[in-house]
Structure formats: structure tokens, C-alpha cells
Amino acid sequence: MSAPASAAPTQDELKTLVGRAALEYVVRGEIVGVGTGSTVNKFIDALATIKHEIKGAVSSSIASTERLRALGIEVFDSNAVDELAVYIDGADEIDGRGHMIKGGGAALTREKIVAAQSRRFVCIADASKRVEVLGAFPLPVEIIPMAARRLMRQFAAFGGLAQVREKDGLPLVTDNGQHILDVTGLKISDPLAFESEVNQWPGVVTVGVFAHQKAQVCLLATPEGVQTLRYD
Ligand code: 5RP
């Protein structure tokens, strides 16, 4: 009798796999930039196993800070640190050049700040996140609440339908005290130009296109193992 075929890994198992694989990119003896989300949570759990080999972390959200501290990893203020060797974070979508959509966890502004402070962005994701053109995932945009209506009209002129993200029936409030628009119906074929354009709209805090702060490496978890994609 032949051995039963092993079941395909679940998405949660793929996230664990890629979270562990990211340890290879952590520079020992230094402070590491840490993103936000369910994949990053797996990375934080793995990071705890080498916590005595690093100085600590700069975190991109209150949620990640709490998880890091609960596991005994020191969290530094980003202003207390100059440059970070590496930033490790997930993505909602990543294209073939390392451009991403981020912000599904509403942490995009601090994520972009820590990414900008880092020499290298290592994206950790499961294979469902890899796309040809950004835009199938609703684009998160952190905004100043008083600009919501006008920004919704501006996105409509771009062919996008923007909605204020809610939590428990009320607008979600970010770690920075602002709101999030989620924009559907966009096809972002020139992410660099799109990010620059939307960043200029009054009331936009951060657009969730990460093209200027793109990934240099993507660790992509597939049922066959972790693939390393490089975008240098
Ligand atoms: C949070 C993010 C996350 O990195 C992104 O949403 C992916 O999250 P997950 O790993 O849970 O799929 O940008 O703002």
C-alpha cells in the first residue's frame, strides 16, 4: 500500500515557515526593524528564539510593540536609532519588482517610516500575495478625517471606490489617531508615479503603495518551500 499523500500546508503554516526563514536576514548584534501583521507575528515569535543575539527592535505598531515586549525583546523609539540594517514586514500584494500594497493591518504610516530608516526591506509573504499588477487588494490610505469626502471624490476620478474602514460600526482609528480609506477598483501599473501623485493630495497621511520604499528581497512561502526573490 502506498503512503498517504501529505496534506498541503495551511496558510498559517506557510506564515510560520516564512517567519522563521526571515531570521537569516537579521543582523546579529544590531537593532532590527519589525513590521506588523499575522505573518510578522510569526517572525516575532521566531525572533524571540534569538533575542540574546540582537540589541532589540524598532516597531511599526502598538500591536507589534506589545508582542515584542511580551517576549522579552527591547523596543527602541525610532528617533533613538539612526539607520537600521534591515526591516522585516509582510505585504498585502507584491509585484515582480518588489513594489507592494500594505496597510491591511492599518499600520502603513509607521511601516513606511521604519522602512525608510532601513537599508534593506525584506518582505515575508505567502504565495497568495504575489501579483502581476497591484490593485486587486483594496488600497489602504491613511487620511486626516476632515479630508475624507474630498479624497473619496479624488479617488473616484481615478476610477476607484473609496470607503472609510470601520471597526465595531465606527471609523477605525489608527495608532496615529487618523482614519483609513480602502480603495477598490484601481489597477496600479506605475506604482512609483501613483505613490508620488497620491502623496500630494491634501489630507493624505500615507498611501499604502510602497514603491519608493520597495522590498529588496521577498521571501515567498509556497507549498514547495520558501522562495527567495531579489529586486536589487
Ligand atoms: C499591516 C500590513 C501587513 O504587513 C499586511 O497587511 C500583511 O498582513 P498579514 O501578514 O496579516 O497578511 O501592511 O499594516
**What is the mean pLDDT, run by run of 10 residues, along the chain of 232 residues?**
70 96 98 98 98 98 98 98 97 98 98 98 96 97 98 96 98 98 97 98 98 98 96 90
Q: What is the pLDDT of residue 1?
A: 47
Q: Grid coordinates in use for 104?
A: 491591511
Model pTM score: 0.96
* 53 lies in the same domain as 124: yes
Q: What is the pLDDT of residue 6?
A: 73
Q: Grid coordinates in use for 107?
A: 499600520
Find out whether 33 and 135 touch, Cβ atoms under 8 Å: no
Range(s) of the domain holding residue 20: 11-131+212-230
- Polymer length in residues for the chain: 232
* 111 lies in the same domain as 143: no
Q: What is the pLDDT of residue 7?
A: 85
Residue 204's CATH number: 3.30.70.260
96 CA → ligand 1 middle, Å: 18
Ligand 1 close to Cβ of residue 92 (< 6 A)? yes
In this structure, which residue's CA is closest to atom 10 in ligand 1? 39
Q: What is the pLDDT of residue 27?
A: 98
* 143 lies in the same domain as 112: no
In this structure, which residue's CA is closest to atom 8 in ligand 1? 37
Task: Note whether residue 3 is domain-resident.
Answer: no
* 63 lies in the same domain as 101: yes
Q: What are phi and psi of 182, to 5 degrees?
A: -110, 125
Q: Grid coordinates in use for 202?
A: 491634501
38 CA → ligand 1 middle, Å: 7
89 CA → ligand 1 middle, Å: 8
Find out whether 212 and 195 touch, Cβ atoms under 8 Å: yes
> Measured over all CA atoms, what is the biggest interatomic distance in the chain, rounded to whole angstroms?
68
Domain count, the chain: 2
